Structure 1
Amino acid sequence: MKFSIKQKKSSEGKISLYIETYKGSYYDEDGKRKHIREFEFLKRYLHENPKTAKQKKENKEALEFADQILTMKKSDFNQGKYGLQNPYKKKKIFLDFFSEKMEEKINSPKNYGNWSATLVHLKRCISPTLTFEEVDEAFVKRVRKYFDTEAKTKSDTLLAENSKYSYFNKFKATLRAAFDEGYTPFNYGTKIKSFEQQESQREYLTHDELQNLAKIDCKYPILKKAFIFSSLVGLRWIDIQTLIWSEVRDLEDGFKLHFQQEKTGGIQYLYISEQARSLLGKRRSPSDRVFVGLKYSAVYNTELLRWGNRAGITKHITFHSARHTNAVLLLENGADIYTVSKRLGHSELRTTQIYAKMVDQKNKEAANLIPTLNINL
């Protein structure tokens, strides 16, 4: 399909502007080639031999208007609004396009990581030479089937439902972008149902359990200090591990952390309690790590469970349980959900609302708020 601006002299001596849409050609029964053209007259006219400044200005404005309409027509074609693919874009390699969309997320580490993981899987089920010319509903169904029944983790187990949900949604987001940018005539992602997101188990400690844990010795004191600090403040493992002293502010009216979240890349300003600050100890050089020697390892993970068992806790504790504990304790003690969301650095309030479901103390209290009735049955 080709668009161009054409001119036609009218019977009144004016030059009429119109858009010609060339849709190709065919051969009739006699073997004659027939061209398919459509015309859209713009009701804009040119002076044949402009002499005055006014006539020249009118000609210029008419041509500019025609050029704008031409640009819009081309844009509509590129976005597939004519039900046809751009002949150049349909030759684009799908995996190359996905990689380009992935690189757009480079400033969001967690999101970029999810896109990278998705790409690893897509390379296992999509040919490296597959182009948008081959993208259709059947193709999308094949990819969905791969994630549902074939894709496996590094441990050689099938993907969890939430992993299927996350990876397939990245794939569908790419299909939507492809349609928006004119690589496909339809958004094929809307034709295939995604996976259901499931609510994950979030293990947390009650105040009494945290208190018991604080009284018991841990084999690795730095691990104990970091876990309790996270329970009081809500920081993720990676943000505690990389925290340096220049990010700890001792102010006249309290204590504050000023750091960049590793997961989202966002800047966080977080007030902390005096007790949380005391866990950090004496200030050292600005570039020094606050939690020296803290490292992620299977040994530390095992010790967390053993430490919890010695405190009488049978729950399967991970370091992230400390962050969950902080959220629940804040909500149980009267903090509003918006404040908790900001402290945890959540980008969406619905992420924090999951913790509200875990708070059952207020629910228990509410059961006895209505005064006792005198009932005769």
Structure 2
Amino acid sequence: MGRLKKSKVDKSPFKLRQRQLADGRISLFIDHIHDGKHSYEFLKLYLQPETSEKIRRENNRTARLADDILKKRMEAYIEKEADKLSESSLTETPLSDFIDVLIAEKERKNHRTKQFVTVKGNLQMFRPDTRMCDIDKGYCIDYADWLKHTCISRLGKPLAPQTAFNYFWHLGIILSNALRMGYIRHNPWCRLDSGDKIREPERLHRFLTLDEVRILEETPCRHELVKRAFLFSCFCGLRISDVLNIRWSDICSNNGLTYASIIMKKTSRPISIPLTSKALHWLPEKNDDSPKIFGGLPSETQINKHLKKWVSEAGISGNIHYHVSRHTYGTMLMTAGVDLYTASKLMGHSDIRATQVYSQIIDKKKQEAVSLIDNVF
């Protein structure tokens, strides 16, 4: 039966519950506790008796949908509680305290928070004791200037352009959330001109060539499951967050093709990817003790450490981390002549401009190849 995730919100006023029906189905509903009284929201979502693998997959998707609704109810509750606070108390809130609130909210949604923790420390170095009411257009412009010309990294060097860009744009994300949650009444970020903002430096994504992929296939890795997971992603494009959570029940066959049907963790968008024979080849043997396909993988940090050792032993240079597998898949699609629209759907991009990056990489490689011919002659 599809499993309901246990809410990680301590003392949450919302609980996802279930009730057995006479026909064998299980009805899912939300129990809202307010002032000691219970009110119920019946979701019209049902878990079916699991008589087949198809029904099991449907139950898993239904359980995830119910959990998403629960999270939305909690988010609306948080916003409502924020609105109850007076405007003066909100604007006097220290910036660092609001970032703590934002981090806690993202942790409840199982989102990554490491970057926000880093930016919080960076903003405290810029101007300690900043309050929400102190942040205006001038503050944002001064912060951009400080990042570009004054801020020093832990190694005692000026910030790399990409790092300065990331820090600056995270301030924009923080302010957007502050407006949404009622901690500020106007977002000064919206008053910035394009010249006031730090622009993202142009960069080319690192990807593996087909020859490099073949070399890695032939090179042993000290952690076999890391090798399988990485090469699996090279041939299907799944992010590490999705690979860590993909289950055997997410793999299905239809009309002779095998698909991975998941809800992407980063975007919460459902996606169904046809798996090539290469991708299927690198799936591990099914373990009945674990519903997750790659359940034995270590943490993401440890995965990247194993990758670096493996890539180094294979004689491949460059900074290779797990996300390179997704870039490799994207460039494979472009090299094979897949159109942008189809490629964007296969990669789960909501904006086709994200897919165009891979097309630009291929175009640049073609230009370099032509230049090499010119140089020879």
Following superposition, the deviation at residue 160 of structure 1 comes to 3.0
Gaps of 5+ in 2: 1-85, 372-377
SS of aligned partner of 1:249: strand
Mapped contact 2:172–2:189 kept (Cα < 8 A): no
Q: Does 1:245 align with 2:248?
A: yes
Report the equivalent of 1:234.
Answer: 237
Following superposition, the deviation at residue 131 of structure 1 comes to 5.0
Q: Does 1:199 align with 2:235?
A: no
Indicate the percent of aligned positions where both proteins have the same amino acid: 25
Please give the alpha-carbon distance, in whole angstroms, between the structure 1 residues aligned to 2:330 and 2:189.
43
1:44-83 equivalent positions in 2, closer than 5 A: none
TM-score by length of 2: 0.60
The one of 273, 277, 290 aligned to 1:274 = 277
Aligned length: 282
Please give the alpha-carbon distance, in whole angstroms, between the structure 2 residues aligned to 1:185 and 1:279.
49
Distance 1:102 1:281, change over 3 A: closer
1:118 alignment partner AA: V
Following superposition, the deviation at residue 344 of structure 1 comes to 2.0
Q: Does 1:223 align with 2:204?
A: no
- Note the alpha carbon deviations across 1:193-250, whole angstroms, 9 max, x for none: 1112013342212112212221222222222211211111111223222322222223
Mapped contact 1:140–1:192 kept (Cα < 8 A): no
Report the equivalent of 2:324.
Answer: 321
Please give the alpha-carbon distance, in whole angstroms, between the structure 1 residues aligned to 2:188 and 2:370.
56
Distance 1:309 1:123, change over 3 A: closer
Q: Does 1:290 align with 2:293?
A: yes
Higher helix share: 2
Distance 1:318 1:106, change over 3 A: closer
Please give the alpha-carbon distance, in whole angstroms, between the structure 1 residues aligned to 2:87 and 2:213.
63
Please give the alpha-carbon distance, in whole angstroms, between the structure 2 residues aligned to 1:365 and 1:195.
29
Distance 1:267 1:286, change over 3 A: farther
2:252 alignment partner AA: R
SS of aligned partner of 2:235: helix
Report the equivalent of 1:42.
Answer: none
Report the equivalent of 2:160.
Answer: 160
The one of 205, 210, 213 aligned to 1:210 = 213
Distance 1:110 1:359, change over 3 A: farther
Following superposition, the deviation at residue 359 of structure 1 comes to 1.3
Following superposition, the deviation at residue 333 of structure 1 comes to 0.7
Mapped contact 1:332–1:362 kept (Cα < 8 A): no
Mapped contact 2:297–2:303 kept (Cα < 8 A): no
Following superposition, the deviation at residue 103 of structure 1 comes to 7.3
Report the equivalent of 1:32.
Answer: none
SS of aligned partner of 2:196: coil
2:122 alignment partner AA: H
Following superposition, the deviation at residue 166 of structure 1 comes to 3.0
Report the equivalent of 2:75.
Answer: none
- Note the alpha carbon deviations across 1:77-120, whole angstroms, 9 max, x for none: xxxxxxxxx99589543626666777787787668665554334
Report the equivalent of 2:70.
Answer: none
Mapped contact 1:257–1:269 kept (Cα < 8 A): yes
Please give the alpha-carbon distance, in whole angstroms, between the structure 2 residues aligned to 1:90 and 1:129.
13
Mapped contact 1:109–1:265 kept (Cα < 8 A): no
TM-score by length of 1: 0.60
Distance 1:213 1:90, change over 3 A: closer
Please give the alpha-carbon distance, in whole angstroms, between the structure 2 residues aligned to 1:314 and 1:149.
32
**Structure whose alpha-carbon radius of gyration is higher:** 1
Distance 1:301 1:142, change over 3 A: same
Q: Does 1:349 align with 2:347?
A: no
Q: Does 1:304 align with 2:307?
A: yes
Following superposition, the deviation at residue 327 of structure 1 comes to 0.9
